[in-house]
Amino acid sequence: MRILSSLFIIVFFIAAFSCKKKDKTNPEDAVNFQKSDMLTHASNQIILPGFANLQTAVNELNLSWVLFKSDNADVSFLQLQEKWEKAVLKFHRVKIYEFGPSSSVGFRAALGTFPTDTAKIIANCDNANANLALVANIDAIGFSALEYIFFRQNAKSQLMGDNELQIYVDKLILKIVNEVSTVYSAWNSSYGTTFSASTGTESTSGFSLLINEYNKEYELAKNAKLGIPIGKQSLGIPQIRYVESPYAKISLLILKENVLALRDLFQGRGMNGVDNLGFDNYLNALEKASLVSTINTGFTDIEDILNNLSDDILYEIQNNPSQLDALYIKMQNLVVHIKTDMTSAFGILITYQDNDGD
Question: Which residue, 87 or 211, is less far from another protein as judged by CB?
Answer: 211
Question: Which residue, 39 or 145, is less far from another protein as judged by CB?
Answer: 39
Per CB under 8 A, 318 contacts another protein: no
Task: Count the neighbouring beta carbons within 10 Å of the beta carbon of residue 156.
Answer: 17
**What's 132-200 look like in SS3?**
CCCHHHHHHCHHHHHHHHHHCCCHHHHHHCCHHHHHHHHHHHHHHHHHHHHHHHHHHHHHHHHHHHCCC
Residue 275 bridge partners (DSSP) = 269
Per CB under 8 A, 227 contacts another protein: yes
Stretch that binds another protein, among 74-82, 106-114, 120-128, 234-242 (CB under 8 A): 234-242
Among positions 94-153, residues that touch another protein (CB under 8 A) are none
Interface residue with another protein, options 86, 152, 171, 232 (CB under 8 A): 232
Query: Do 113 and 137 contact (CB within 8 A), yes or no?
Result: no
Per CB under 8 A, 70 contacts another protein: no
Task: Count the neighbouring beta carbons within 10 Å of the beta carbon of residue 73.
Answer: 12
φ and ψ of 269, to 5 deg? -85, 115
Per CB under 8 A, 291 contacts another protein: yes
Region class of 23: left (phi > 0), else alpha (psi between -120 and 50), else beta: beta
Per CB under 8 A, 5 contacts another protein: yes
Residue 269, SS3 per DSSP:
strand
Distance in angstroms (rounded) separating the CA atoms of residues 102 and 39: 17
Distance in angstroms (rounded) separating the CA atoms of residues 356 and 358: 6
Question: Which residue, 87 or 291, is less far from another protein as judged by CB?
Answer: 291
Per CB under 8 A, 355 contacts another protein: yes
Question: Which residue, 50 or 231, is less far from another protein as judged by CB?
Answer: 231
Nearest approach, Cβ of residue 124 and another protein (Å): 25
φ and ψ of 257, to 5 deg? -60, -40
Amino acid type, 167? I
Nearest approach, Cβ of residue 26 and another protein (Å): 14
Per CB under 8 A, 237 contacts another protein: yes
Among positions 6-45, residues that touch another protein (CB under 8 A) are 8, 11-12, 14-19, 21-22, 30-36
Chain positions contacting another protein, by CB under 8 A: 1, 4-5, 8, 11-12, 14-19, 21-22, 30-36, 199-202, 223, 227, 231-241, 285-286, 290-291, 332, 335-337, 339-341, 343-358
